Chain A
Amino acid sequence: MTIIEKNSPYILGIDLGTSNSAAAVYRQGKSEVIKMGKENTLPSVVSFRSEEEVQVGENAKRKILIDPENTVSFIKREIGTEWKKEFFEKEYRAEDISAEILSKMKELIESQEQFDMRGTPNFAVICIPANFDDNKKKATREAAQLAGLNTLYLLEEPVAASIAYASEIKRDQTILVYDLGGGTFDVSVLKVDTVDDNEPAKFSVLSKEGNPNLGGYDIDKLLMKYICEIFQTESEVNLLDLEADQGISVSELLKAQESVREASEQAKKDFSEVDITNIEIPNLIKDEFGKIHSIDIELTKDEFEELIKDIIQETMDTVSKAVENAELSNQDISRIILVGGSTRIPLVKKEIKNFFNKEPYSNIDPDIVVAQGAAIYGAGLGVPSEETENTNEALEEDQPDSKIIMDNIVTHNLGIEVTAGRFNRIIEKGIELSEDQPIVSNEKQFSNSEPNMTSMRITVFQTSEEVQYVTDEHCICIGEFYLSGIPEGEKNEHRISVKFEVNQQNEVIVSAQLLGSESISNQITIQRN
């Protein structure tokens, strides 16, 4: 007889990040990050060594350079797309790669000795970016399933950050989440209603904005370029130019670049604590005349801030847009929460303070706040009733004392493709989904574009931007179905009603019906969250 361990009653809060991933659980009245080995986070990198051997994390990261063909990083950018790649004669989709990351996290959680998980980790709340479309959400769920995790909820990252914050300070607030990740920037404005401890805390998303091409790495690159320029003035060696005839081998230049990159990163970190830092790299490189050049630069915080001010200003423009879209003024924002390691840069805090006339909240670790928020939300959800039999009972001390209700907004324009590939919007982005209005619906009428059309294809699209045609890069197909049995007739003779409904579960239900003939109808339910 096989003994099967029961499930853990802890719900994992997982931040499945583009560069790094983290996990937390809610325990003894607080969210606790689960160490991924010695660190709080695990690099989201997967390397295939053979048919059987797959490495995930730091070891895989070290394979990016020497075995790029079999190593994958930044897979989150590809999830829910057509991305496929073969490793050792087996084809992997992006969700399969993400599943490897989640499996490794699960394995590390099972083997950790921080505390007793009281069973096999099985349930999770997984965080996703605010702008994830349905395909990406579905793929994330599938990745979790493949890793042996039952996803109880896909929680938007800024909402998770707000929950982590609100769990510390219980007040009725409007929160702005400023999330400067490695390669992306997102802002969300949320209303958190936690006036009374006895009532559930209510989270309402008021607006979301972002810039997918701006992140902390841009700051690192700028600083590195600046240091290299100073070095070039003094040494006449351009460390960043691998093609110029400088009489120095590419390998020597790469080695020097790596040293400068590390020193730049350290200098950036130093400015969180000091106003002046010294970048000293003795014996960095030898030029073609045999002279050895070192770097000995004193860099001030003012210089650094001057260098990165345009990037930070760009983020503040996005912040301004988010506040405007939430139909609020700067004074209405009661707290600003920072997410992502680059938010430790003092200029970020300074600009936020200038803009809102208040300091951002800095009592939360920006690297793990998302996982922590997800853990708190997960604890509130609890183990699904149908699973309680297979799960160890949760301890009373691990139960949160308040519940969370989530209000949301429709994140995308939703519509169908009509004649000439045009996008016809039926539901507008930004409409509120709340307790009072849990369903948003709209209906439009269309006609047959050709004579004798007995069947009509209804293709459903979503887009975060205003678009004219479904071929626009922002427009994504999320499902299609056919309305068949339409009687033959002239062009434009028949009227077809197409109705969209978006509910609190983030499902989109699209139905089509031939007007005047109830029996000729069809519908599709697209699972979103």
Chain B
Amino acid sequence: MINMKKLIEISEVQRTYSIKRKLLEEWKVQFEELEVEAEKLSAFFQRNYENKMIQDNFPPELQELLENRLEGIRLSAKTATRLKRKLNNEKPLEDPPKGFIPIKKTNSNPILELVEKDNQSIFLNFFEEEVDEIIKVNRDQVELLQVDIEMAEKRFFQFIEKALAPIMDGLYNGKLHAKELVIYTNDSFPDYKTEVIEWVSIYEELMEEVNKLLKTYFVGLLIPEKGDYFDELKHDPIAVVEDTEYHNEQIKELVRYGYYYKKTINNQKNFIIRPAQVTVVKNLLEKPADKEKSGHRDEGDINEV
């Protein structure tokens, strides 16, 4: 005999299916949009690279240094041209699985009438097996949908990590070297300082454009500060260095940004797509510092550009 529990169960499966199907459709739309955005970003990079001039009036040494920097920008622009291809490299999302028995189809069925009337079953012995079958079939469909959603998530995160992040990494390195170039120019060619500062602003412009795209898709940057305490949830240590100015496990340097997803995914907030890469201090003579006392930042304390 069908009881209320069964009826709630069938409704619950129907509801879950609708939610997941909607989610998968959203992912499909998002990938289509992302494809367009990737093209736009690539064009932006190319345009900025092509428009970047090195003025003839710069001293030859400075011209040579800037030519060298321009080569790095050319390579970033070249990498950006592959963004769309990298997005499509994975298998494209398929349509939601077919085979789900929708409520509409069971409209003429007393099961649904029962749901509507919120009544106890007295006539439905006959339909018990049918209800069980519907629940089973639909539950299988929900599982298939879940697999597709997970694939979409994976594809998106891989795009961020393997396609966008390397571009950002290159620009971040370029920006660090640019700072040194500005200092050098100030020392060696002070008359050209302003022009060089203007010239190297291209790194910021390109990074900002990548970041705009990331923000649109709810991806935040993890940018730990020098002196922040190492947090294995958000940071990936690449090297340990000695520096008595710092306590053990304090961050000495940010090597490359990390990325996190701002939307909730699998009940998890701030899912880390890629931790920030850092160098961490470890002095031979010091014991690990007391994190509480040293201003350790708790989970969820995430920097954003």
Q: Could you pull out 23 A-B pairs where Cβ atoms are within 8 angstroms? A: A38-B271, A55-B232, A60-B232, A62-B235, A62-B237, A65-B239, A66-B249, A251-B241, A254-B238, A258-B238, A273-B89, A278-B79, A280-B79, A282-B75, A282-B171, A282-B174, A283-B170, A283-B171, A283-B173, A283-B174, A292-B68, A292-B69, A294-B170
A447 interfacial by beta-carbon distance below 8 Å: no
Distance in angstroms between the alpha carbons of A290 and B61 in the assembled complex: 11
Chain B residues with Cβ under 8 A from A59's Cβ?
A: 232-233
Interface residues of B in 264-290 (CB under 8 A from A): 266-268, 271, 275, 277, 279-280, 282, 288
Q: B150 to chain A: closest CB distance in Å?
A: 9
- A90 CB-CB contact with B under 8 Å: no
What chain A residues lie within 8 Å of B82 (beta carbons)?
Answer: 278
In the assembled complex, how far is the CB of residue A150 from the closest CB belonging to chain B, in whole angstroms? 29
| Contact across chains for A66 and B237 when beta carbons are under 8 A apart | yes
- A65-B280, A258-B255, A292-B177 given. 8 additional CB < 8 A pairs? A66-B282, A67-B288, A251-B253, A254-B238, A258-B277, A280-B170, A281-B166, A292-B174
Could you tell me if A255 and B232 are in contact, using CB atoms closer than 8 angstroms?
no
Query: Are A283 and B72 in contact (CB-based, < 8 A)?
Result: yes
Interface residues, chain B, with chain A CB atoms under 8 Å away: 65, 68-69, 71-73, 75-76, 78-79, 82, 89, 162, 166, 169-171, 173-174, 177, 180, 184, 230, 232-233, 235-241, 249, 253, 255, 266-268, 271, 275, 277, 279-280, 282, 288
Bitwise interface map of A from 252 to 288 toward B, beta carbon under 8 Å scored 1, else 0: 0011001100000010000001000010111110100
Please tell me which one of the listed residues A65, A266, A294 contacts residue B75 in the complex, with CB atoms under 8 A apart: A294
B237–A282 touching, CB < 8 Å:
no
Q: Are B173 and A284 in contact (CB under 8 A)?
A: yes
A66 to B177, CA, bound (A): 27
With known contacts A282-B173, A283-B177, A294-B72, A62–B236 Cβ distance under 8 A: yes
- Chain B residue numbers with a CB within 8 Å of A62 are 232, 235-237, 275
Tier of interface size on chain A: 20 to 34
- Is A254 in contact with B239, judged by CB distance below 8 angstroms? yes
Q: Do A292 and B255 touch across chains, with their CB atoms under 8 A apart?
A: no
Contact indicator A282/B239 (Cβ below 8 Å): no
Closest B residue to A65 using CB positions: B237
Taking the complex as formed, is A63 at the interface, i.e. its CB lies under 8 A from any CB of chain B? yes
Q: Point out the residue from A63, A258, A281 that lies within 8 Å of B232, measured CB to CB.
A: A63
A274 → chain B, closest Cβ, in Å?
8
Contacts of A266 in B (CB 8 A): 162
Chain A residues in 8 Å Cβ range of B279: 251, 255
Q: Which residues of A contact B288 (CB under 8 A)?
A: 67
Within 8 A of B (CB), among A94-113: 113
Q: Are A259 and B169 in contact (CB under 8 A)?
A: yes
- Asked if B75 contacts A280 (CB within 8 A), the reply is yes
Residues of chain B within 8 A of A296, CB atoms compared? 75, 78
Residue in B173, B253, B271, B277 with the greatest tally of chain A CB atoms within 10 Å: B173
Find residues 44-81 in chain A having any chain B CB closer than 8 Å to their own CB. Answer: 47, 55, 59-60, 62-63, 65-67
Which residues 269-321 of A have a CB within 8 angstroms of B? 273, 278, 280-284, 286, 290-292, 294, 296
CA gap between A125 and B222 in the complex, in Å = 41
- Total number of A-B contacts with CB less than 8 angstroms? 87
A186–chain B nearest beta-carbon distance, Å: 29
Q: How far is the CB of B211 from chain A (nearest CB, A)?
A: 17
A interface: dominant SS: mixed
Give the chain B neighbours of A282 by CB distance below 8 A.
72-73, 75-76, 79, 170-171, 173-174
Minimum CB–CB distance for B260 against chain A, Å: 13
Kindly provide the distance from the CB of B145 to the nearest chain A CB, expressed in whole angstroms.
14
Report how far A388 CA is from B236 CA in the complex, Å. Answer: 46
What residue of chain B has the Cβ atom nearest to residue A114's Cβ?
B146
Report B-chain residues with C-beta under 8 Å of the C-beta of A250: 239
- Return chain A residues, CB-CB under 8 Å to B275: 62
Bound CA span A177–B152, Å? 32
Closest chain A residue to B278 by CB distance? A66
Min CB distance A251 to B, Å, is 5
Contact status B78-A280, CB under 8 Å: yes
A251 to B253 Cα, complex, angstroms? 10
Report chain B residues within 8 Å CB of A66: 230, 237, 240, 249, 280, 282
Name B238's contact: one of A255, A273, A294 (CB within 8 Å): A255
Looking at A60, A258, A284, A292, which has the most chain B CB atoms within 10 Å of its CB?
A292
The distance in angstroms between the C-alpha atoms of A62 and B238, with both chains bound, is 9
Assess whether B72 is in contact with A292, with CB atoms less than 8 Å apart.
Answer: yes
Q: Which residue of A lies closest to B146 (CB)?
A: A114
Task: List, in ascending order, chain A residues with CB within 8 A of B232's CB.
Answer: 47, 55, 59-60, 62-63
Distance between A341 CB and nearest chain B CB, rounded to angstroms: 16
- B162 contacts across to A, CB distance below 8 A: 266
Which A residues lie within 8 Å of B76 (CB)?
282
**Complex: A296 Cα to B76 Cα, angstroms:** 10
Closest 7 CB pairs of A and B: A282-B170, A283-B173, A282-B75, A59-B232, A283-B174, A62-B232, A283-B72
Could you tell me the distance between the alpha carbons of A251 and B76 in the complex, rounded to whole angstroms? 24
Q: List B contacts of A255 (CB < 8 A).
A: 238-239, 255, 279
Q: How far is the CB of B34 from chain A (nearest CB, A)?
A: 20
Residues of A within 8 A of B170 (CB): 280-283, 294
A273: which B residues are within 8 A, CB to CB?
A: 89
Question: What is the chain A residue whose CB lies nearest that of B253?
Answer: A251
The 8 Å CB contact of B68, one of A63, A280, A291, is A291
User: Given the complex, which residues of A lie within 8 Å of B177, measured CB to CB?
Assistant: 283, 286, 292
Nearest residue (CB) in B for A249 is B241
Question: A294–B71 contact, CB under 8 A?
Answer: yes
Give Cα A284–Cα B177 distance, bound, in whole angstroms.
10
In the assembled complex, the Cα of A47 lies from the Cα of B232 at a distance in Å of 11
Complex Cα–Cα for A55 and B68 (A): 45
CA distance A396 to B279 in the complex (A): 54
List the A side residues contacting B239 at CB < 8 Å. 65, 250-251, 254-255
Which residues of chain A are within 8 angstroms of B233 by Cβ–Cβ distance? 59
**Contact residues in A for B277 (Cβ distance below 8 Å):** 258
Please, how many angstroms separate the alpha-carbon atoms of A250 and B241 in the complex? Answer: 10
Tell me, rounded to whole Å, the shortest Cβ–Cβ distance linking B275 to chain A: 7
Q: Which residues of A contact B271 (CB under 8 A)?
A: 38
- Which residues on the B side are within 8 Å of A47 (C-beta)? 232
Nearest A residue (CB) for B281: A66
The distance in angstroms between the C-alpha atoms of A282 and B237, with both chains bound, is 21
Give Cα A284 to B253, complex, Å: 16
Residues from chain B with a CB closer than 8 A to the CB of A60 are 232
Q: Which of B65, B166, B173 contacts A290 (CB 8 A)?
A: B65
Chain B's closest residue to A64 (CB) is: B237
Nearest CB of chain A from residue B290's CB, rounded to whole Å: 11
Complex: A402 Cα to B65 Cα, angstroms: 72
What residues of chain A lie closer than 8 Å to B253, measured between beta carbons? 251
Give CA–CA (A254, B236) in the complex, Å. Answer: 14
CA distance A61 to B220 in the complex (A): 23
Closest residue of chain A to B248, judged by CB? A66
